[in-house]
Amino acid sequence: MTAELRDVRGTLHRFERVPRRVVSLVPSITETLFDLGVGDAVVGITDWCIFPRGLDLPRVGGTKNPRVDAIRALAPDLVHVNLEENVRRHADEIAAFAPVFVTEPKSPRDVVALLGDLGVIHGCQARAAELAESLEAELAHPPHAPFTFACPIWKNPWMWCGGDTYVSALVESVGGRNILGGRDRYPTVDPREIAELKADVIFLPDEPYAFTERDAEALRATFGRIVGPFPGHLFTWHGTRTLLGLRALREWL
């Protein structure tokens, strides 16, 4: 094979052969590689790579604090990183000894393109096309009746998903409107202000902050409908888990 692809940082990668020793520093991509049928090429993963269940592979640290020396020792011929999840200086250090492919889907639609890229890189175009088709079909569902929402990601201080986040785009793809859509990234906003903006639904994921049922009960005293706590990876992981996130949203709504 010979293929050329640019990653999200604009780096041009030329793939002369299918990578055989892959390190993934992105939990959602780890899962997606296995779903694509190329898990045998994965030789290193993070401490947060929990899918597929029961992975018995070398762990190289967290997404924010990987052990670069451990990655080097695995002699990878490709390392997957994410622009937001991983730290640039780590990616730059790794790039000194291995190709680093950087991704950052900002919406479920971007995940369709991501699946296509992974299919080309890893020589599994047919399976990638099948999964992309399933995602396209999910995105083609008629949207839910319009509703407004907010989604916190942290507490003390309260931080929420702004309009330029993957989480916001995911919920908007089924008919939602983020009441903090005009804010960038993860603004700090008091719940009382959120209440004044009158969100129809508050989504309460259990990551990155581990919100509990007690948090949900406290919020119900102020807000109408609380969805959660639920597994945060349904909202924050992109790749094949995007399908599960969209299906969960349709079920909840």
Q: Which stretch of DSSP H or E encloses residue 93?
A: helix 88-94
Fold of 3-105: Rossmann fold (3.40.50)
Of the CA atoms within 13 Å of residue 248, those in its CB half-sphere come to 19
- The span from the CA of 148 to the CA of 228, in Å, is 16
Q: Residue 1: its pLDDT value, please?
A: 74
Read off the pLDDT of residues 63-75 as tens digits, 9 standing for 90 and up: 999 999 999 999 9
Q: Residue 154: its pLDDT value, please?
A: 97
- DSSP state at residue 40: G
CATH architecture of structural domain 147-252: 3-Layer(aba) Sandwich (3.40)
Q: Residue 222: its pLDDT value, please?
A: 86
Domains 3-105 and 147-252 in one fold: yes
Give the residue extent of every domain in the chain: 3-105, 147-252
Q: Residue 112: its pLDDT value, please?
A: 98
- The span from the CA of 5 to the CA of 86, in Å, is 20
* Tokens, residue 164: 């330029």
> φ and ψ at 96, to 5 degrees?
-70, -20
Read off the pLDDT of residues 32-50 as tens digits, 9 standing for 90 and up: 999 999 999 999 999 999 9
User: Which residues of the chain fall short of a pLDDT of 70?
Assistant: none
Q: Residue 128: its pLDDT value, please?
A: 98
